Structure 1
Amino acid sequence: MNNEFIWQGRIDDEDKARGLRWHQVVNLETNTTTDSHCCLLGLACDLGVKENKGRVGAKTGPSAIRSALTNLPYQHNVSLLDKGDVVANECLDSCQQNYATEVSKALEQDCFVIGLGGGHEIAWGSYLGLQHAFNNSDVAQTNPKRIGIINFDAHFDLRLPAPHASSGTPFRQIHQHCTEHSLPFHYACLGIAKTANTLALFDSAAITGTRFLVDEDCSLDKAIPLLTPMLSEIDLLYVTICLDAFSSADAPGVSAPSTLGIEIPFVLQTLRWLAVNQDKLSYQWALTDVAEMNPTYDIDQRTAKLAARLLFEVVNAKFP
């Protein structure tokens, strides 16, 4: 679907400057020279979900999230740009590489990037794009920026590609990349469901030094001491939100629904805390994506509306 037709909606009669909605301010000119500080970029792909034996349908996730964003009130101190979607072909790796290229281009233009998924295979592309944007120069390779990842997720996604990559392998791939390039692996996963991860995956978490909280322990009071040491050791922060971290009552439209899930207010509070602590802990929050949006199984747009609310809060937190 052409995004021009998605970004349409209600126009209010109130003060024009203060009564705007997202569809009225989003710029669709991908080659614009305007000062767009926040850009949306979709990965229309669920090849990784299929490979991971999940419920397919996330390929149309980016369009569903845009549709849920379109009528939200524009209350942000930032200009918005929609750079469209990288659409899946028959090769997951090339799709992720193409997405990484677009992420890198946006970051090099000083944009804060919001990724719209699609399956959680988006994470490997996001990481590669972040690495290329900040660590590709000769100077950066000598003293590379340290990347930290916070993942709200019921799953570690530390599976070993066997033999192919999938939506369940991105953070294992990132760990392997870090190992091969002598880079530190800083990864925290909030919302782990004991019923969704084998003992082998908990072993992988221990071996890779993954920090985590299980779903029933997720509160800001417990997240802060878990995250602060990691945040103090990084330069760049990448936050990824897998919608299957939430209860299936809140997020039915995902590839692998959760029974218990984490509370929405916990995620919102953590996102705000991450934004306000950038200067104090000396890191730059550069990139966020939302993954596993599967409209095929959504009910009353619950999952899409949740994704939109999360992104609304991300932009508000980053650009108050």
Structure 2
Amino acid sequence: MKKNALNFLESVELNFKARDESIGANFSKILLINKHNNDIKEQIKGKFILLGVPDDRGVLANLGNPGAKNGPQLFRDSFYKLYDTQLHRFNPITQKPNTKDQKQYHNRNFLSERFIDVGNIILAETIEETHNRIADVIELLLQNEAKLIFVLGGGHDFSYGSYKGHVNYKKDEIIPIINFDAHFDLRPVINGSINSGTAFYRIIQDFNKNIINGKALLEIGIQRERNPHSLFEFALKHEVKTIEYISFLDIWRDYNTGNSQIPSEHIHDHIDDCSKFGFNRKTGSIHVSLCLDVFDQAIAPGTSASTPLGAQMKDLSLSLAFFGKNHTCRIMDIAELCPARDTHDQTSRLCASIVYRIALLREEYSNR
């Protein structure tokens, strides 16, 4: 870890008026990283982290639509307008309030007090060096015991950087990836040109041990019309578990085995498989990558490459709830938020609500 990782961060400003009861009513109450405070752990430990990557150069290099560089800012505008709420503790098994806590509800802390916004990554001259900066920041945050890091993009290529930071922290451990996406993002790097479709190809190439040559990668939501057949062949060669979403039949089918079940069951099976390979379910950590184009463009039009026949929120709610309640999820990438293509901030509001709900589940229902 580089000691100057904090120098790769720039603070952000919010330019909106919020109601008094909202998370962003008084921005001074939202914890911001203090680069000059020597005790970083005091700021980071046990917090939900917001980290922006305002970069769409990888999207443009992949001949995609511009605008995702503004994704982190629009996310914040939507997120800080949400109402704050007191936290209650529920038994994760019975789903009922903990009896001993019932008399203390009125004294509960608010959800906003659990967040710290560390700002945006300062972009380097190259995409590759920007990814290295992301990796250094992620490693720093994990070493200082951040609870869950939300990395907000930005082109999906940044997932390489966030995963690299995860690897630098966990070293030789297996780190499963669950990628919710209509696209594989397994495109090869040709002549050194990194783009938004190369993240997981690069991860398999550079972190083979952590991803078990691809076996620890789950691609869920893949659509056949949105991926060249060469990527299916690459996934098959590297034993990447591929779950195809077939919209007309409304089924989620393992492309190789034909097994059809709901997304959360595919995820549980994948984690079981990773455990057999050596993933430690108690002390290990999982990397989640949510590309917003996995959703149908009717609910998420504001992505770099929206999907006409994508998933509905109800399809993935159980899966997202699982990662909300499960402490093994340490990093969640949220990619391809593209304000230039959004309608009435529809996608940024969806994204903000997902982050809010995941944090709420982690605080109220998790058992460790």
TM over 0.5: yes
Q: In the alignment, what sits opposite 2:201?
A: 172
Deviation at 1:104, TM superposition (A): 1.1
The one of 177, 197, 206 equivalent to 2:227 is 197
Instruction: Describe the superposition over 1:261-286 as per-residue Cα deviations: whole angstroms up to 9, x where unpaired.
Output: 111122221021234455xxxxx211
Q: Give the Cα–Cα distance (whole angstroms) in 1 for the partners of residues 299 and 175 of structure 2.
A: 31
Conserved? CA contact 1:42–1:116, under 8 Å: yes
Deviation at 1:9, TM superposition (A): 1.4
Q: Give the Cα–Cα distance (whole angstroms) in 2 for the partners of residues 93 and 220 of structure 1.
A: 32
Q: In the alignment, what sits opposite 1:15?
A: none
CA RMSD of aligned residues (A): 2.2
Taking structure 2 as the reference length, the TM-score comes to: 0.75
Conserved? CA contact 1:30–1:81, under 8 Å: no
**Alignment of structure 1 residues 61-76 onto 2, 5 Å:** 61-75=71-85
The one of 283, 295, 306 equivalent to 2:350 is 306
**Alignment of structure 1 residues 36-185 onto 2, 5 Å:** 36=44, 37-75=47-85, 79-111=114-146, 112-135=148-171, 144-163=172-191, 164-179=193-208, 184=212, 185=214
Q: Give the Cα–Cα distance (whole angstroms) in 2 for the partners of residues 40 and 26 of structure 1.
A: 11
Q: Give the Cα–Cα distance (whole angstroms) in 1 for the partners of residues 304 and 264 of structure 2.
A: 30
Question: One-letter code of the match for 1:27?
Answer: L
Q: Give the Cα–Cα distance (whole angstroms) in 2 for the partners of residues 290 and 95 of structure 1.
A: 17
Q: In the alignment, what sits opposite 2:313?
A: 264
5+ residue gaps, structure 2: 1-9, 88-110, 253-261
Conserved? CA contact 2:12–2:120, under 8 Å: no
Deviation at 1:314, TM superposition (A): 2.0
How many equivalent pairs are there? 299
Deviation at 1:23, TM superposition (A): 5.1
5+ residue gaps, structure 1: 13-19, 136-143, 279-283
Change beyond 3 A, Cα 1:67–1:277 = closer
Conserved? CA contact 1:26–1:79, under 8 Å: no
Change beyond 3 A, Cα 1:120–1:228 = same
Deviation at 1:117, TM superposition (A): 0.3
Q: Give the Cα–Cα distance (whole angstroms) in 1 for the partners of residues 50 and 338 of structure 2.
A: 18
SS at match of 1:82: strand
Larger radius of gyration: 2
Q: Give the Cα–Cα distance (whole angstroms) in 1 for the partners of residues 220 and 202 of structure 2.
A: 19
Q: Give the Cα–Cα distance (whole angstroms) in 1 for the partners of residues 123 and 25 of structure 2.
A: 25
Conserved? CA contact 1:49–1:167, under 8 Å: yes
Change beyond 3 A, Cα 1:161–1:38 = same
Q: In the alignment, what sits opposite 1:227?
A: 270
Q: Give the Cα–Cα distance (whole angstroms) in 2 for the partners of residues 293 and 198 of structure 1.
A: 23
Q: In the alignment, what sits opposite 1:16?
A: none
Question: One-letter code of the match for 1:100?
Answer: A
Deviation at 1:146, TM superposition (A): 1.2
SS at match of 2:13: helix
Change beyond 3 A, Cα 1:82–1:182 = closer
Q: Give the Cα–Cα distance (whole angstroms) in 1 for the partners of residues 322 and 63 of structure 2.
A: 35
Conserved? CA contact 1:6–1:70, under 8 Å: no
Deviation at 1:54, TM superposition (A): 0.6
Q: Give the Cα–Cα distance (whole angstroms) in 1 for the partners of residues 264 and 303 of structure 2.
A: 28
- Sequence identity percentage: 27
Instruction: Describe the superposition over 1:193-231 as per-residue Cα deviations: whole angstroms up to 9, x where unpaired.
Output: 111011111111111211121123243464245434245
Taking structure 1 as the reference length, the TM-score comes to: 0.86
Conserved? CA contact 2:220–2:263, under 8 Å: no
1:238 aligns with 2:287: yes
Q: In the alignment, what sits opposite 2:23?
A: 21
Q: Give the Cα–Cα distance (whole angstroms) in 1 for the partners of residues 155 and 332 of structure 2.
A: 14
Q: Give the Cα–Cα distance (whole angstroms) in 1 for the partners of residues 176 and 204 of structure 2.
A: 11
